[in-house]
Amino acid sequence: MSTKSAKQKILDAASILFYNDGITNTGINSITDKAKVAKMSLYNNFPTKSDLITCYIEARHQEWLDLYEKRKVQIKTPMDGILAIFDAYQDHAEFAYEKGFRGCGLLNAAAEFPAYSPERLAVKNHKDEIENIVAGHLSQLFKEPQKVQQLALLISFILEGSIARAGLESSSEKVFAAKQMVQNLLEREISN
């Protein structure tokens, strides 16, 4: 017997369906069917679909932070910290998704909402947080704030590009390749 709360069952079911089929394409009935809960249970926990979407975006963000947290135990240098970000993305890409890896769930979600919507802003905040993590590690390698910001932006672009390509190919190989490119780039920058 499951010890999960109805709220967690609903969020888990919605997360799988939103990722697999898209948010717009996922109806309330399919969520309650997958969660094996009554429709009233869904509305008691999430008064609107928007409330459920907000929780989904927060859960995806936390899921990535948890993967990064696991990788952080191996960090011994600032370079390791940056590469651990790629490792966490690779871990995400290698997760056993029901219908295969389709890229970043947060970017997929953001694509379904209009510009400046709260949902897109939440995804932007997640991406900004990752860029700030990169910048924090870079600031231990380089003293010039402008160089740190430029490299953090470049690395975040490489990271996002690699995860988009990984999603298109349903493989983490592009994330691994991007990690190698960033390592080579940083080693050259450090030696200059």
Q: Where are the domains of the chain?
A: 1-47, 56-191
Read off the pTM. Answer: 0.90
Confidence class of residue 116 from pLDDT cuts 50, 70 and 90?
very high
Question: What's the pLDDT tens digit per position in 79-88?
Answer: 999 999 999 9
Q: Write out the two tokens for 143.
A: 């003293």
Burial of 112 (0-12, 13-18, 19+ CB in 10 A): middle
Q: Could you give the CA distance from residue 11 to residue 3 in angstroms, rounded to a whole number?
A: 14
* The predicted structure's pLDDT at residue 139: 97
**CATH number for the 1-47 domain, one of 3.60.10.10, 3.30.365.10, 3.20.20.70, 1.10.10.60?**
1.10.10.60
Architecture of 56-191 per CATH?
Orthogonal Bundle (1.10)
Question: What's the pLDDT tens digit per position in 148-189?
Answer: 999 999 999 999 999 999 999 988 899 999 999 999 999 999
* The predicted structure's pLDDT at residue 95: 81
Residue 157 DSSP SS3 = helix
